[in-house]
Amino acid sequence: MTTFIASIDDPHAAKGYHRPRALVTTDWLAAHLDDRLVRIIESDEDVLLYDVGHIPGAQKIDWHADLNDPVTRDYIGREAFERLLCRMGIDATTTVVFYGDKNNWWAAYAFWVFQLFGFENARILDGGRTKWEQEQRPLVADLPRYAPSAYRAPERNDSGIRAFRDTVLRHAQAGGRLIDVRSPAEFSGQTTHMAEYPQEGVLRGGHIPGATNVPWARAANPDGTFRTADELRAIYEGEAGLTPADEVVTYCRIGERSSHTWFVLTYLLGYDRVRNYDGSWTEWGNSVRLPIAR
């Protein structure tokens, strides 16, 4: 049976993370490609990457098609999540390893959605697709087949790690800590979208009053791996002034980049009161009578 016991030889334990078992290395994954208790999930911004080539045995999760409700702007409910995992051959005994492009941007988002359903046996491949490719490890185009599971999902729980607009408003008015993980240009209101991306419908630029800007990708090294705990604390505590006792809300445009920062604060630094505001600037910047700052 697969185990994830951290030891002094574990490179993630050596980097000082609060929960080193939340990550696996490329070496570990390469040695467990045929492990029947492991399922590998690729979730990318570029949805065509998986078809071009993926880690052997990996299955694809499309964040829009698989994780979002087709009618309501919300995530899928218990029954749809249950069907998704059954189709992928995943149950409570399965270790799910997420990876993707752009420093695991969407992989962290998929990981976060799985946590809304209390799926704790989940890991992220440190370095993601970038590191796997840099090490010239195998990529394949064939689609894996797994026997369906009999997984039974609990109801989705939004109360612990997800923040909604009115809660964020009260949090901001009370002087609570908000981390805006977008680019400085988006934070200042100079632009309403990421560089080289289209404008996606928000009416106003700026940020939530009281928010601190810490771009999400600062948490990653050039090879896509996460920075050490000491380096992360220098950013989020030394520069942004956070403390582990703070109640923190992270946000970006639709909650995808901020899920990466949520993972860093929660799993790598041990903050236990972090929520991701997935409505983010797309909702806030379009809402009537909500304050903004520039």
Phi-psi region of 158 (alpha: psi -120 to 50; beta: other; left: phi over 0): alpha
Superfamily of segment(s) 11-134: Rhodanese-like domain (3.40.250.10)
Query: Taking each helix axis from N to C terminus, what angle separates 256-263 and 105-116, rounded to the nearest 10 degrees?
Result: 80
Q: What pLDDT is stored for residue 10 in this prediction?
A: 80
C-alpha 292/C-alpha 207 separation (Å) is: 6
Q: What pLDDT is stored for residue 200 in this prediction?
A: 64
Q: What pLDDT is stored for residue 195 in this prediction?
A: 74
Q: Do domains 11-134 and 165-284 have the same CATH topology?
A: yes
Q: What pLDDT is stored for residue 198 in this prediction?
A: 65
* CATH, domain range 165-284: 3.40.250.10
Mean pLDDT by 10 residues, the chain (294 residues): 45 94 96 96 95 98 94 96 98 97 96 97 97 98 97 96 98 98 95 73 92 98 97 98 98 96 98 98 95 97
User: pTM of the predicted model, to two decimals?
Assistant: 0.95
> Domain limits of the chain?
11-134, 165-284
Quick one: 105 exposed, middle or buried, by C-beta within 10 A (0-12, 13-18, 19+)? Answer: buried
Four-CA torsion 121, 61, 260, 7, nearest 10 degrees: 30
Q: What pLDDT is stored for residue 8 in this prediction?
A: 39
Residues ≥6 apart with Cβ < 8 Å to 154: 78, 117, 118
Q: Report the catalytic residues.
A: 252
